[in-house]
Amino acid sequence: MKIPAYLGELIAQFRDLDVRDPASWEAAPRAVLSVCAGLATFAAGWFLLIGDGMDALQRMRAEHETLRESYRVRIRQIANLPALRARKEEVALRVAAAERQLPGRTEMDALLADINHAGLLRGLQFELFKPEVARIASSFAEIPIRIRVTGRFADLAGFSGDLATMSRIVSMRDLAIQHNKSGALAMEADVIAYRLLESGERSAQAEGKQ
């Protein structure tokens, strides 16, 4: 088969190429080299672009998953909001009811008299009835009353029950019962009475928290 003259000339340009000196090549080899170099550069740029794009896509997917999880958490919080509000209102009502049971400073003498009277009604003998210095808490004051009473076990137990059911909040701590020298039962305890803080005490508490 006879090769056309122009093809023969092109083929001849590719013979005996000096790869160390592309500048000496004729037009056809230089053109092919330029095209190959351009394709290589384009391919490298394409793969680099694809790699960066995949990294960006992974970051976007991770961010999307984070946003979805945040959305789920918020949905759960919103769903629980009515129950949380109801619980908050219930606690507020209980606190208000408890505060209504707390006397003011001017009512403490009457409360101490009621505690003493409850013991006398049970036939108990008070050997000690000593109110101590008030302890200031966050929103109320505790007044410890050190008592020592003697009597029958049933009366001692009844007196403890009477304190628990008083209209004011009263509790007992460090309770101990033993026989005294005469053989009767003696009970020692700290009766804790509570009262509301006065305005000056509340101000001092607020300043102490700052």
pLDDT at residue 32 above 70? no
End-to-end CA distance of the chain: 105
Averaging pLDDT over each range in 36-40, 96-100, 160-164, 203-207, which range is the top one?
A: 160-164
| Last residue of one domain, picked from the residues 102, 118, 150 | 102
Q: Structural domain of residue 18, as residue ranges?
A: 1-102
Number of domains present in the structure of the chain = 2
Residues 37 and 127 in one domain: no
- pLDDT given for residue 3 in this prediction: 47
Cα distance between residue 129 and residue 126, in whole Å: 7
Q: Tens digits of per-residue pLDDT, 78-130?
A: 777 777 777 777 777 776 666 666 777 778 888 899 999 999 999 999 999 99
Q: Which amino acid is residue 210, in one-letter code?
A: Q
Mean pLDDT for 17-23 is 58
Residue 23 sits in the same domain as residue 80:
yes
Cα separation, 3 vs 1, in Å, equals 6
Task: Output the domain CATH number for residue 143.
Answer: 3.30.70.60
Which of 102, 120, 147 is the last residue in one of the domains?
Answer: 102
Look at residues 56, 73, 102 and tell me which one is the last residue of a structural domain: 102
Is 168:143 a contact under the CB 8 Å cutoff?
Answer: no
Residues 6+ apart with CB under 8 A from 28: 10, 13, 14
**What is the tens place of the pLDDT at every residue in 37-57?**
656 665 555 555 555 545 555
| Same domain for 137 and 85 | no
Q: What mean pLDDT is predicted for residues 142-151?
A: 92
Question: What is the structure's pLDDT at 179?
Answer: 84
What is the rounded distance in angstroms from the CA atom of residue 31 to the CA atom of residue 27? 6
pLDDT cut 70: percent of the chain above it: 60
Indicate whether 145 pLDDT > 50: yes
pLDDT at residue 109, as a whole number: 87
